[in-house]
Structure 1
Amino acid sequence: MKNTISVLAIFSALLAGSASAADLPARTAPAVAFVPPPSFSWTGPYVGLNIGGGWIDRNHNNNNWGWGWNNNGNNSGGVVGGVQLGWNYQISPLFVVGLETDFQGTSIGGGGGNNNWWGDFNRVRVPWFGTVRGRVGLALLDSRLLIYGTGGFAYGEVNRPTFSWWGNNNNNDVRGGWTAGGGVEWAFLPNWSAKIEYLYTELNHNNNGNDSWGLIAPVLFPNSIIAGWNTNGNRHTRINTVRAGVNYHFNLFTPAPVVARY
């Protein structure tokens, strides 16, 4: 009888211990919560390629070839392509500033059909040009859409034939000027963006005034209207470009996603 009572006591104690253990909280691994990464940041350097088209606006070039025989009403287009390198800094969730330089090779050049019976003296070619520009933009749509304006210094080579008493001369100059425009850029991947951009670029002529006919005419015909002929004017080469490009961004200062434990 005593043995039976002892067995029942031990069994009751085991049941009571199991019930107490069931009431204790389970020891499991801590919960892991993923904190979403911050919105896209434009801060950092980038490099990219672009391609598009361009044309010379000849309606406003101040050239005087005599009695209005010119072809300034024609536009001359070609392909534009090159590389860009820049740096952005996002000063707030909305505002982005930056600096960009680019170098473009072009096939922009004047064609035939000139109204001058003596030759094509308005034919202008721009083999290459480059710019150094500032950028100011607004970051929208979780900071992935950038709408910006841009402007700064421009330089490039302009090939323009000039008229001489003894024939035609090629006037090839590397000229400076200015540029301005704007565009829109979309960050479609964490390190990649695509853009569409328009630039207006004006390169100034050195206006050296050394054209032979312009120097000889006043001497040979001092009282004639011919003396008023001048083949050296205040020339400006005005270039319009529309191009699409892609940039790779080195997001050196973008924080990594945060994983929190609770």
Structure 2
Amino acid sequence: MRPLMLASASSLALMCGPAFAADATADLPMTAPGFDWTGYYAGLQAGYGWGQSEITTTEGAPFSITPDVDGGFVGGHVAGLWQFDQAVIGGEADLNYSSAEGTTESGLGSTFGTDIKWFGSVNAKAGFALDRLLVYGVGGVAFAGIETSQISGAAFTETKTNVGWTVGAGVDYALTDKFIVGAQYRYYDFGSEHYAAPEPFNDRDQSVKLNTVGINLSYKF
């Protein structure tokens, strides 16, 4: 009788084991998914820029002069990103107030200056996500309000909107599901603009190139 009872108990345990295992598995919490970069963003950025302007006269005695420019910037940005596995693609636009400027003196004693009053860009963005870390490249169309100036007894200033291109790279980190911090390097080529100067100044072309490094804080909607 006792061997029969033991055999029955063993059979019951074997039959119930899978059911108990299934119930236990069902009660375990699911592993939390990784951070999803898909979404819309808005935020602020600030940093420092440095570069060079080239001013070339287009009438009279030809010459060129190259003021160095540098200074800080602060601005805002908006972006939209979509994640596919670990690939992230999207678009971003930014606009910045700038204090980057510089002057240099010619051999004849005139002071030439360049002042980047504001700049911005509209970009494509693509990167690789490692959970909450995003490493990316960015590039697109750049534009800026740039002033040219000259002081030679009298003074001449004129501001135009330059259009060019930009490329860069950066890294973002999601502190929470809503707040993202990051750092970015950008190179800007704002192209060249022609300035018609009154007497006694000469007409000129001015081109500007700028490097920037900055930090950013974004909110994900």
Q: Does TM-score exceed 0.5, indicating one fold?
A: yes
1:161 to 149, 166, 171: 149
Letter in structure 2 aligned against 1:83: G
Measured on the aligned residues, the alpha-carbon RMSD in Å equals 2.7
Find the counterpart in structure 2 of residue 20 from structure 1: none
2:46 to 42, 51, 66: 51
Find the counterpart in structure 2 of residue 104 from structure 1: 96
Q: Is the partner of 1:124 in helix, strand or coil?
A: strand
Letter in structure 1 aligned against 2:102: G
How many angstroms does 1:85 deviate by?
Answer: 0.5
How many angstroms does 1:106 deviate by?
Answer: 1.0
Letter in structure 1 aligned against 2:212: T
Matched, 1:148 2:136: yes
User: What is the distance in 2 between the residues matched to 1:79 and 1:208?
Assistant: 26
Q: Is the partner of 2:50 in helix, strand or coil?
A: strand
User: What is the distance in 1 between the residues matched to 2:52 and 2:57?
Assistant: 16
How many angstroms does 1:212 deviate by?
Answer: 4.4
What is the 5 A alignment of 1:103-142?
103-111=95-103, 114-121=105-112, 123-140=113-130
Letter in structure 2 aligned against 1:37: A
2:173 to 159, 183, 186: 186
How many angstroms does 1:206 deviate by?
Answer: 2.8
The alignment's TM-score, normalised by the length of structure 2, stands at 0.78
Find the counterpart in structure 1 of residue 12 from structure 2: none
Q: 1:202 to 1:69 in 2, by over 3 A?
A: closer
Larger relative strand fraction: 2
User: What is the distance in 2 between the residues matched to 1:187 and 1:179?
Assistant: 25
Letter in structure 2 aligned against 1:196: A
User: What is the distance in 2 between the residues matched to 1:249 and 1:116?
Assistant: 53
Aligned length: 197
Find the counterpart in structure 1 of residue 7 from structure 2: none
How many angstroms does 1:57 deviate by?
Answer: 2.3
Letter in structure 2 aligned against 1:77: D
* Dislocated runs of 4+, deviation >4 Å: 64-69, 208-214
Higher RCO (CA < 8 A, seq sep 6+):
1
Equivalent pairs: percent with the same residue? Answer: 27
2:217 to 217, 224, 246: 246
Q: Is the partner of 1:38 in helix, strand or coil?
A: coil
